[in-house]
Structure 1
Amino acid sequence: MEELILTIVKPLVDHPDEVKINLEESDRSITYKLSVHPEDMGKVIGKQGRVAKAIRTVVYAASGSKQQKKVFLEIVE
């Protein structure tokens, strides 16, 4: 899943080397915390959050039935 997120996000940003994903897992959920360079934050979020929503849609669809846990994607500063 992390590779999928990196594949989607790295072409969008000006600083692809600073794209990082931290994984937090609990009994019921998996949370991927995406951090990017501060200058790239707007590119990843997009106007009115459209890009972020599209990334989340793809990630949620890809993880859909494979896991019994709920998957979340957070964009952190």
Structure 2
Amino acid sequence: MIKDMVEYLIKEIVEKPESVLIQERQQGDVDIFEITVDPNDRGKVIGREGQTIKALRVLISTVVTSNKKFLIDLVQL
């Protein structure tokens, strides 16, 4: 559910949605979502002063109703 939401939101932001790759893994009790996008789209995902990626994290944390922990990481190619 979270992975699908992250993927949908990221694909709406970038110019090359076909290059979006989301990998999910667990580390202890934390779900980690590693996002890979086209290098030209990194700035759009991060946003000015990190506003876009921060907003994405807030939005996801609002949707997650349990005390589940997660981390959204933008992977650099």
TM-score by length of 2: 0.88
Q: Distance in 1 between matches of 2:42 and 2:17?
A: 12
> What aligned pairs does 1:46-61 form with structure 2 within 5 A after superposition?
46-61=47-62
Partner of 1:11: 12
> What RMSD in Å do the two structures reach over aligned CA positions?
1.2
| Unaligned residue ranges in structure 1 (runs of 5+) | none
Partner of 2:73: 74
Cα deviation 1:1-25 (Å, max 9, x = unaligned): 1110111111111110010111110
Cα deviation 1:39-66 (Å, max 9, x = unaligned): 000000000000000011111222241x
| Unaligned residue ranges in structure 2 (runs of 5+) | none
Letter of the 1:60 counterpart: S
Q: Distance in 1 between matches of 2:65 and 2:32?
A: 14
Does the CA contact (< 8 Å) of 1:20 and 1:35 recur in 2? yes
